[in-house]
Structure formats: structure tokens, C-alpha cells
Amino acid sequence: MTVKSSTDYKDAPTELANPFRVDDEVTIGDAPCALVIFGASGDLTQRKLIPAVFALRQGGYVDSHNPLIGFARSSRSDEQFRAEMSEALKKFSRMRSATVEEFTAFTNDLYYQVGDYSDPETFVTLGKRLEELAEKHGTHGNCLFYLATPPSSFGMILKNLKVSGLVDESNGAFRRVVVEKPIGTDRDSARKLNLQIHDSFSEKQVFRIDHYLGKETVQNILAFRFGNGIFEPLWNRRYIDHVQITVAETIGVGSRAGYFDTAGIARDMLQSHILQLMTLIAMEPPIAIRGESIRDEKVKVLRAIKPFTRMEAIRNVVRGQYQPGVVDGADSLGYLEEEDVPTKSQTETFVALKLEIDNWRWSGVPFYIRTGKRLAKRVSQVNIVYRRPPLAFFEEFGCDAPEQNVLGIRIQPEEGISMSFVSKRPGPSFHIDPVRMDFKYSSAFAKQTPEAYERLILDAMLGEASLFAREDEVDLSWKLIDPIIESWSGANAAPLYHYQAGNWGPEESSALLERSSREWLRL
């Protein structure tokens, strides 16, 4: 396979690696490149990135043609870095059963570069190191830079990559950058950050990562929708009554209070993970299952969402903050009692809202979304709720009206798909009961489900951008979220409701559905 760069979204799409390929289509040598991780001493690198690259190595997707350089301020040698990452693999890798020889072969291809992100000379040194590794490992000069740092460091890193010539692709080698979220804190800051990015990299070189889109069930949404003839014809306003999306966590803010209190759940989850998920549920069939075609359709969904005025945001959005309660049988602190949270914080830990997509497929079909911390259950699920049958002729048998059919797509904790329908109860009398069919990845496939970062890192190496956010996606999502956040401040601000830890959020969130005689489904 020849690795090709993705194109700028304003141009015609080029042929890219198929993101829904089978395993045999991607083999060792498809994506020779060096991976440079800025922020190599951080938690993300040890818990997620290094284990992901090791899993790719064990799966035969990368090899010694893919050396890795960790870049951070703290001083350590190559050997010390290798030892630290070896310990991280023993703790966090899903490949902990690998042999000592396999661990050693992988860590021998790890290197370390100490330096300050603001020091141009350090990047010159990095460039020389990359030239050495190109010769030693056969990377052909290809390089993938991963910004696993706080956003405050992005600007310095991007600038010095450009100044040192490390973004130049004139020699035929690719240079790409992976940018972790958050991409800004509002539309203006996101635009400023994207300007910084584009001062060094073109859009086709940029991969804005959202690990949520790397989950198997999220990827399977397109295969499920467009690969099964019995579902896509029913995926529209004629048959669907409404859609529910729930992303619930039982944990609180933990050690992230410093970040979370300035962000809130709307910025942390709604603007990124959930809107990305919703676009995959609502998008039109793309002309091809590859990068720009998929992202074009996702953008069309975001453009079709009815924007919120301030009054509409107050009416159709509920925000909440958890108070002391019981979660999983254990006493839980309230948000204001968490360490490093200001005592008078108004930051939301829960948000529920009603969205409408103003296009031919979804006109009149509400999308109800909720997400929060310290809720009753850890679960991420999309429920497609179908319209009721037009005739209630079961009443003559004394039966209640049949329950609505629900197609459930569960993303976590146990990935799978379920379908509810009604069936006659066995026996001489006529009674109907709801029943459910379940498909679970864990039981249907013997192969272990890969971690999200594995797929995303490999795709970035291959230049496949389907599962990464494009600049206009980020801009449109902030355009939608900004009015909601603005409605929570100033005169006549929307109220902040409270809920006990361990339940499903403020009671007011149920009113969003009750106005139209609907209710949140039990998960």
C-alpha cells in the first residue's frame, strides 16, 4: 500500500486508505515513520499512547520502521525512558502477556529528547535526531508529531517545528501533527488556535484527535447503517420518533478539578465527543467510506442543526451540578466539596438538551442528549426510538398498546447493539410482551477489542482522516455550543439545578421529554 496524504477539504478528495479495512489489508511497512510525542512524561503518554503503539506492534501494524521519540522538559536518558515506558506497559497495556523479548524489541526502538518547547535550538537537535533515525530505521523521513501537552504549549511547539524546518514536505516525506483536545474554549479561541496550527501545517497535515471516535462501536455505526439493507430505509423521520444519546459517568472530577472547573461538562463532552457521535448517527450516506467524504456529511449535519437563541437555550437546555449522594453503594462528595473546586463554583457537571436537525431526513425528529458526572450508571448509549404502530387493535384482547421499538447502540462499558420488539406470550390466551435481542462484541468476536488510540494513531500514520475532526467541524460545533454557555451568565441567566450523586441528573431534565409525552429510557 502506498501511503498518501489527505487533501485539504476545499479540494476534491483523493484516494485514501479505507478506514473500514480488514486486518490483512494493512501490514508492516504500510506506514514507515517516526512518531514524536511532545509531553512524553505525562499521564496520557504512559497510560494510552505508549500502550497503543505497543499493541500496534504486537498486531503487526508497525515495526522497527516506526521508532518513537519522547520529548519533554525533564532530563532523562534513552535507557531511563525505556525503563519507565516498560513499567508503564506492565501496568496499562492490554498486551501484558507479551514475552520479555517482545517488550525489549519494542522499547529498544524508543528514544528520548530533553528540551524546552520554547527553545528553537532544541528543535534543531530534534531534527538531527530524526535524520539519524531515518537512516537507522528506514522511516524515509516521514514523521508524525503528537501534541500530548496542555493547549498552552501548542503555540510554542508549532512555531518551533516550523522555524526548524520540521514541517517541510518538499522532499516527498510526510509531516503530520496530531492535536489533542480541547480545541479552544469557545469559537473565537478555537479559531485562534486553528490559525496557529495553519501557520505551521496545512489542513491536510492536521489530525485533531477525539479518542471517542476510535471506539469500535462508534466506528461500527456506519457499517451498521449502510451495510444492512433492513435498517437504512427506516433511518428517517417517517419511522423514527426521536433519538436519545446518553453519555454518563459515575466518577466525579477527581484530579482534573483545575481543568474541569474552567471547562464544565458542555465544553468537555458535549462540544466534542457527543456532537461527533451525533453526526455519525444523523449523516447522509457518503459517496465513499473514506476521509473527506465522511467528514463532508458530518459537517452538513452540524450546519443543519437549528441554532439556539438565548431564550431557546434557556428553554431547551438543563444544566446541573451534583451534590452529596451515594454512587455504587459508596458515599460520594458533592462537587463543591471536591478538592480544588471553588466553594461558590457555578460550573455544570450535567447537561441535557433537545436538538433539532432541520433537513429532509430529520425534520420534526428531536434529538435528546444528556451527559454528566456522578450519575447512576457508567454508560454511553444511543437509542433510536421508532414510532408506535398506527393501529392499536390488540386492545380487543385486553392488551396495552405495544411499546415502541428501540434500537440501542451501546458504546461502553460493554460494546454492542440491541433491538427491542414485542412478541406474543406463549399460551392459549393472547398477550404481548416486549422482548430484546442483544449483540455483544465480546461474545460475537473472539478477537480482543482494541483501544481507541490504537486505531487513531495508525490512521494518522496512514493519512486517513475519517475519524478526526476537520477545522470546519470544530468551528460549527462551537457555533452551536457558545449560545448555550452564554445563556448561563449575565442577567436572566438559566438556573443551575442540583442533583444527588447517584441518580440521573436534575428532575428538570425529564421535562425536556415530558412536554411531548416522552421519557428517558431506562439504561
From the list 137, 198, 273, 431, the catalytic residue is: 273
At 392 the pLDDT is: 64
Under 8 Å between Cβ of 84 and 126: no
Confidence of residue 15 (pLDDT cuts 50, 70, 90): very low
| Beta carbons of 374 and 251 less than 8 angstroms apart | yes
pLDDT at 20: 35
Q: Residues 94-108: pLDDT tens digits?
A: 888 888 999 999 999
DSSP secondary structure of 201-257: S-GGGEEE--GGGGSHHHHHHHHHHHS-TTTGGGSSTTTEEEEEEEEE-S---GGGH
Of all residues in the chain, the percent with pLDDT exceeding 70 is 92
273 catalytic, yes or no? yes
**Who has greater pLDDT, 50 or 181?**
50
H or E, element range at 356: strand 350-356
pLDDT value at 419 more than 80: yes
Task: Give domain limits for the chain.
Answer: 23-208, 214-385+471-511
Categorize the per-residue pLDDT at 223 as very low, low, confident or very high, splitting at 50, 70 and 90.
Answer: confident
**Is the model's pLDDT at 21 over the cut of 70?**
no
Q: Is the pLDDT of residue 428 over 80?
A: no
Least confident of 109-113, 172-176, 260-264, 422-426: 422-426
> How many other β-carbons are positioned within 10 Å of the β-carbon of residue 497?
17
- Check residue 5 and give its pLDDT: 35
Residue 400 scores a pLDDT above 50 = yes
User: Quick one: pLDDT at residue 18?
Assistant: 39
325-350 in b/e form (b: 16+ CB < 10 A) is: bebeeeebbbbbebeebeeebebbbb
State residue 396's pLDDT score: 64
pLDDT band at 395 (very low <50, low <70, confident <90, very high): low
Interval 500-522 mean pLDDT: 95
For residue 429, pLDDT over 80 is answered with: no
pLDDT, position 311: 93
With a cut of 60, say whether residue 330 has pLDDT above it.
yes
Confidence category of residue 440, pLDDT binned at 50, 70, 90 = confident
Which superfamily is assigned to 214-385+471-511 in CATH?
Answer: Dihydrodipicolinate Reductase; domain 2 (3.30.360.10)
Residue 31 has pLDDT above 80, yes or no: no
Point out the least confidently predicted range of 32-46, 283-297, 385-399, 480-494: 385-399
**pLDDT recorded at residue 203:** 94
- 184-214: pLDDT as tens digits: 999 999 999 999 999 999 999 999 998 888 8
The alpha carbon of 436 is separated from its chain's Cα centroid by a whole number of angstroms, namely: 28
Query: Can you tell me the distance from the alpha carbon of 130 to that of 173, in angstroms, rounded to the nearest whole number?
Result: 12
Tens of pLDDT along 302-316?
Answer: 999 999 999 999 999
The domain 23-208 belongs to what CATH superfamily? NAD(P)-binding Rossmann-like Domain (3.40.50.720)
Task: Give the model's confidence band at 24: pLDDT under 50 very low, under 70 low, under 90 confident, else very high.
Answer: very low
Q: Beta strand 366-372 with 350-356: parallel, antiparallel or unpaired?
A: antiparallel
pLDDT tens-digit map of 457-479 = 999 999 988 889 999 999 999 99
Residue 378 pLDDT more than 90? yes
Residue 173 φ then ψ, to 5°: -80, 150
More confident position, 21 or 136: 136
- Give the Cα separation of 252 and 337 in Å (integer): 11
Q: Residue 191: enclosing H or E segment and its boundaries?
A: helix 187-200
Mean pLDDT along residues 11-24? 37
